[in-house]
A and B are shown apart, each in its own frame.
Chain A
């Protein structure tokens, strides 16, 4: 039996005010899988990904990530969960008061890596996404696609087991989007579990991956 690295069972998420973002969602992702999550905007894609990283907590049901119950995880344990996840956000969340290299180094600095090692690994990550020449640039000076690649470098720099990307190709033209998706596929090919939410069916037609479709908070 292949091991499930992520599993949702009967997960509901109700936001304060009564809006129900997810209704009775159950699925499992095996280690090393690459899964796309599609659906209209507002279907609950972002909420589902946030539940994995404990950014939001499930109202009912259980979310298991690498054997740990995230829905009932104590707050002090959350940072250690997140260190095993590579997160790529819709709004990127880059810091504009420092260089591209410093942005990528941040996850390593936070875990107390020696500066020299951190810089070396950050450069390697920048190299993988093709931004090594821009390491000194401020993220604000990078193009949209470059910023997205910078986010990917930051997400993979501490070699997470799971990569989670929320709409990584949302604002990119088709050619650039393909390159980004291919980048995720190459990480998947070396064993990283990848979850990508998208409302763009181009990569799905192109790669024919496993797809979870959300419709108004329920899995179709």
Chain B
């Protein structure tokens, strides 16, 4: 166990030294990986922000229930109770026909029209605010509410919810595709780096095999190199995306003061950053293992 730990510490020290002796090449590799990762990561950050923004808008994903004219006070109370008890409904607001008419009167140009009416043509209504703006829930509740007694008409603004969620779905697919493609690039870059490293250390590998080094011992520093390079690449990607968001936010600040809204992009969360680093490390590991299994066995002492 201690021997094993010592081996790891030694390989790690070797890898760091190798990075240090070759700073330009190591930096360039990390940059290539970083830029490749920054594209999907940036896409993800943008998407997360749009999603956040959309959630703010679609927070009013609502279903309106218009009651039949003959609905009594008791019916209204009953429906209100039923709505409150429905899972998936966050809030219920009762809009009486008088209140609705008042609201309409305040709309410019409508007051004159309404004044010509002899009686209030508007029905009583409920507005149910949903807990989540997802299409399936909206459709299900819409059907459910249609079955309530004394409910004449149900209207869900699901079209908007649907449009946003399908757009987000499209964006997510695009980001995933991009990430998958560029992951291949990262694996390829690692594969090549490790191949070159194996070739430059050919003599050392051969001698190590001759004096009784196990394959695990010989492989270990290459895995460290591949994983470390991936992690550095991931760091570069995070820095690029954070910097881009920072710059974009400066421009958005101008817009925000003009329109009186708070439209700032959120920075990557710590969890996101860790995920990216772990993902980059995993890809580095993958590239290394492919490269090592392909190239290391070819170096046998003669």
A55→B4 CA distance, assembly (Å): 26
B210 touches A82 (CB 8 A): yes
B10 touches A109 (CB 8 A): yes
**Residue B106 interfacial (CB < 8 Å):** no
CB distance from B66 to the nearest CB of A (A): 78
A83→B206 CA distance, assembly (Å): 15
Contacting residue for B211 out of A76, A107, A112, A114, CB 8 A: A107
A106 touches B207 (CB 8 A): yes
A interface residues, how many (CB within 8 angstroms):
23
CB distance from B172 to the nearest CB of A (A): 45
Contacting residue for A83 out of B3, B203, B212, B300, CB 8 A: B212
Please judge, given known A-B contacts A82-B212, A87-B211, A112-B7, whether A93 and B217 are in contact too, CB under 8 Å. Answer: no
A81→B209 CA distance, assembly (Å): 11
Contacting residue for B210 out of A55, A112, A114, CB 8 A: A55
Please judge, given known A-B contacts A79-B213, A95-B203, whether A112 and B208 are in contact too, CB under 8 Å. Answer: no
**Residue A154 interfacial (CB < 8 Å):** yes
Q: Which residues of A pack against B, CB within 8 Å?
A: 53, 55, 75-76, 79-83, 87, 89, 93-95, 97, 106-107, 109-112, 114, 154
- Set of chain B residues within 8 Å of A93, measured between Cβ atoms: 203, 206-207, 210
A53→B209 CA distance, assembly (Å): 11
Q: Which residues of B pack against A, CB within 8 Å?
A: 3-4, 6-7, 10, 203-204, 206-215, 217, 300-302
Pairs across A and B, CB under 8 Å, 11 listed: A76-B214, A81-B212, A82-B211, A82-B212, A87-B210, A94-B207, A97-B204, A107-B212, A109-B10, A110-B208, A110-B212
Query: Of residues A106, A107, A110, which shows the largest number of chain B Cβ atoms within 10 Å of its Cβ?
Result: A110
- Set of chain A residues within 8 Å of B3, measured between Cβ atoms: 111-112
Q: Which single residue of chain A is at the shortest CB-CB distance from B215?
A: A76
- Set of chain A residues within 8 Å of B213, measured between Cβ atoms: 79, 110
A74→B302 CA distance, assembly (Å): 18
CB distance from A157 to the nearest CB of B (A): 9
9 closest pairs, A vs B, by CB? A112-B3, A83-B212, A82-B212, A110-B213, A107-B211, A79-B212, A79-B214, A93-B207, A55-B301
